[in-house]
Every structure is written in structure tokens, then in C-alpha cells.
Homo-oligomer: A and B are copies of this chain.
Amino acid sequence: MPQLGLLPRRAWAALLSQLLRPPCASCTCAASCHSQVAEAVLTSQLKVHQEKPNFIIKTPKGTRDLSPQQMVVREKILDLVVSCFKRHGAKGMDTPAFELKEMLTEKYGEGSGLMYDLKDQGGELLSLRYDLTVPFARYLAMNKVKKMKRYHVGKVWRRESPTIVQGRYREFCQCDFDIAGQFDPMIPDAECLKIMCEILNGLQLGDFLIKVNDRRIVDGMFAVCGVPESKFRTICSSIDKLDKMAWKDVRHEMVAKKGLAPEVADRIGDYVQCHGGVSLVEQMLQDPRLSQNKQALEGLGDLKLLFEYLTLFGIAEKISFDLSLARGLDYYTGVIYEAVLLHTPTQAGEEPLSVGSVAAGGRYDGLVGMFDPKGHKVPCVGLSIGVERIFNIVEQRMKISGEKVRTTETQVLVATPHKNFLQERLKLIAELWDAGIKAEMLYKNNPKLLTQLHYCESTGIPLVVIVGEQELKEGVVKIRSVASREEVAIKRENLVAEIQKRLSES
């Protein structure tokens, strides 16, 4: 990706801390936007409202249009993400925007209430997809696919509860990469983390860190701390909020709202403040309580192997084993991870501050089996890139740096200085189009030359082909470079070749 609006380090750090608000509870991919955008939307709604109270023209709550300017940024980000997925051998696929409602129920834990249902118009009960993972698992089970490495870019929809003022989109784009199949442990898992590093490096978003944990370690921790098994998932949801709530508030939720014994909560509290590298894994393998739990031991053993592979991939220093990472979605069964951008310290001695999740994922070995009539399992591991949030960051950065992007790719404007030259322009432009050259003309019978040249300047078109009375008489056309204002006359029959030559040189 071209270096879109690179900022000085300090301005960048300030921007990040402003932009990256805590993500929502059960979100795979950081769907939030920042409140500035939301306020702008709200303001524009109000404006229309004032003009004509009964006729509000707007997009639905929590959704937005993408302008051509925004589309260019979006596409550059998506191109970078998709080319990384392809570099790792992934195939593309697509699923419908909605699924049978029953396919989606009991997959998301506390997030299930946020699903968009379609109206019952006398057919099947349908819901818009809530993520791309469950449709992928449904696809694997339905087609009896046992092995597949695929990526999927698509919109998902969540009725995030509060209002748009809090700045969360209800329609957002996800970019998922998943590896399905029975393989030797931790090799695909390590590749997922490698991919996250490649993408975050490629996007030049600044320092980042990937927190890693394992659902089996989370569950083992709950078990040795004395959490009743029936409360595992709900306590997991509470722990998942630790990146945006203080420990004392999470503790209060667990004890007062979810009925956990205070001493059990405090035991959990001791663990969840631990984070570190492979040495923490070693330490936990020796932990007198945790090492007594079979599940936790398996998880820790796998993490140890994972760190070995991450070292070979040269990315171990980007990974932090973090016992507070829990992930809200029900379907994870093994390794889980979440990438956060780091707020670069502005003063010496300050610790880097985590400012928001931009990618996440994990292993879900049981999900496909939930769809298979015979319960056949297909182990899976994958990741999701939170492109909305990344998009907002890059967009804001470009605004601050004042960088302009072209929203069209037009190479040539076909122009004339004289009246009654529409026919010549039409013939010329058709020739260019047929030769694959990106060309425009003004849709006027007799545009002024100055208007035509201004159009090139304002839209970034580099070349003008000019045909007038003199040129027509001599069988030539003029090619003008917009930047240098130089003009040369060339033979009409050499026009296409000459333009192609110039475009290949630039």
C-alpha cells in the first residue's frame, strides 16, 4: 500500500488515543467507529429534519454510505489484506447475507440478542449474518468439506444496543481468513498470527501487540479458582471486558450480578493480571494450582509449542501471553488472540498503552460439528481483521495530513477549443476507449477550453488530447501535459500509440 498520509510520530500517537475507543463486548473485530463520524451523521440528520420535519432523508441508524473518497481508502486497505491472504494460499468464497435463523442461534453467547431478523413474510425465518465464521462452518458441514483454507470479505450486521452517538456501526465489513482441517498442532495457528503481523506491518499503523491465551487455560483457571462449571461462559464474558473495564468493576459484576464467591473472584484476579512471553508459559506450567488441571496443561503445552513456531517466524516479540484475554464468542475451544495498536509513549519511561483491538481470532474445533447431522467435527482456526476501525484510522490520518486521493483513474481528457467539435471528440474518445485507455470528455456540445483544462486539474487527469480546426485540417491532434502545460502535435493515426507510450513512462 502506498504510504497513505504518514504523520509525525507524536501527532500519530495523539490521533490513535483519540480514535481508538474500547471495542464492544462480544465483537470479533472491533466494529466501533469513533464518535466524530457519528456526530457528523447526527448533525446532518438534524439539518434535514429542520428543513422539512416530516421528511428525513437518511441512512438507517448505525449505517453509512461510503463516498468515492472513502471507497479509495477502503479498497487500498482491502487490497493489502486480501493479497496477504492470497500470499498464504487462501481461496475466496462467499455466502448469502442472511441465513436460516436456526443456523445462527446458540453460537454467539451474549451477542445473540444483537442479530437482525428478517420479517416473516410467509417463508423461512431468516437473520442477517452476525459474522463470517458461522456461515463458513455451515458451508463446510453442508458440503462435507474436511479441509479448506479460505478468505472471505463481506458485510456483517449487529444491532449494537446503544445509539449511533456512541459511534458504533451496525453494518460493517469483515475480512476473515480460516484454516479448516485436522493437522499437526499449532502450525496453522502460528500462521494465523504471522498473517496478522504481516497485515498490521503492511498497513503501517504503528506499534502493535498480539495478546494470546487459550480457552482451555481460561477454563482451567476458572476450575482451579473454584468457579462452578455452569458459570464458565458467563464469567468468561465478564473477563472479556477487562480491556475496557477496571478489575474492580469486573469483579463487582462477577460477584454481585453473577453470584460468584468473592474469594473465587480474587483468585481469578491474581491470574488475570499476568502477561508476558514464553517464560510466563513456563511459569504457569509450574503453577501449583494450574498445573493440576488437565485442560490448562494441554493449553499451556500448546502455547509453548506455538511460541517455538512464532520464534521461527520471527514474530515472537510481537506476542504476549495474557491471562486476561477471554474473547466473548462462545465457539472458541483453543488458542485465542487479539491484536491491539499501541499508543507510542510520548514521554520517556511511560509504558506503551493498549488503545484498541484491530484484529482477533482463535481456534474453534466444535463449531462445524454443531451443523453436521452426525456431529462430525472439523477443527478450525482463523482470524478476522477489523477493517472498519483501521479504515477510520487511515481516513483520519489522511485528513490531518491533508493528503488528497484521486477518486477516478482517468488518464486522458478529450477536449476542443472550438465550437461544433462534438463529433470529432466522440470519434476520438471511442478510439481511446477501444484501445483500453481511460478517457473522459465533458458532456457539453461546446465546452470552453478553460473549463476543460480546469476539470483536468481538479480531478488529476494528467493528459489532454485537443482537437480543433487547425488540427483537423492538418490531420493531427495535440497532446498536452497538464502538469508541464507542454503541447505537442502528433499525427492522428499515432495517437493511441503515443498515449500508451507516455502512460507507460509515467
Contact = CB atoms under 8 A, between A and B. Distances in A.
A64 interface: yes
Contacts of A198: 433-434
A456 to B, nearest CB: 12
Interface stretch (A285-293, A346-354, A423-431, A468-476): A423-431
Interface centre among A66, A88, A94, A374 (most CB of B within 10 A): A94
B99 A57 contact: no
Nearest to A136: B65
Interface in A213-267: none
Contacts of A312: 423, 426-427, 430
Contacts of A422: 187
Contacts of A155: 97
B63 A96 contact: yes
Given A58-B100, A126-B60, A433 B194 contact: yes
A276 interface: no
Interface in A56-94: 57-61, 63-68, 71-72, 74-75, 86-94
A194 B126 CA distance: 41
Interface in A149-182: 150, 155, 157, 159, 171, 179, 181
Contacts of A116: 118-119, 121
Interface in A324-340: none
A139 to B, nearest CB: 5
A493 interface: no
Given A60-B99, A194-B430, A312-B423, A93 B120 contact: no
A433 B88 contact: yes
A103 interface: yes
Given A118-B117, A150-B68, A312-B430, A408 B89 contact: yes
Contacts of A51: 373
A199 B379 CA distance: 43
Nearest to A115: B121
Contacts of A427: 312
Instruction: Count identical subunits in the complex.
Output: 2
A128 B116 CA distance: 12
Interface in A351-378: 371-374
Contacts of A60: 96, 98-100, 124, 126
A445 interface: yes
Contacts of A181: 443
A317 to B, nearest CB: 14
Nearest to A437: B87
Contacts of A423: 312
A181 B442 CA distance: 11
Contacts of A63: 96, 98
A468 to B, nearest CB: 18
Contact of A184 (B59, B373, B443): B443
Contact of A67 (B93, B194, B408, B433): B93
A457 interface: no
Given A86-B438, A187-B443, A430-B312, A71 B94 contact: yes
Contacts of A179: 443
A184 B446 CA distance: 9
A96 B184 contact: no
Contacts of A433: 87-88, 194, 198
A118 B119 contact: yes
Interface in A274-311: 309
A409 interface: yes
Contacts of A97: 97, 128, 155, 157, 171
Given A75-B92, A97-B155, A198-B433, 15 more contacts: A44-B142, A52-B373, A57-B142, A57-B373, A60-B124, A60-B126, A61-B123, A71-B91, A91-B407, A96-B171, A117-B118, A118-B119, A123-B159, A312-B423, A313-B426
Closest 9 CB pairs of A and B: A68-B91, A183-B443, A63-B96, A52-B373, A89-B440, A71-B92, A117-B119, A66-B94, A312-B426
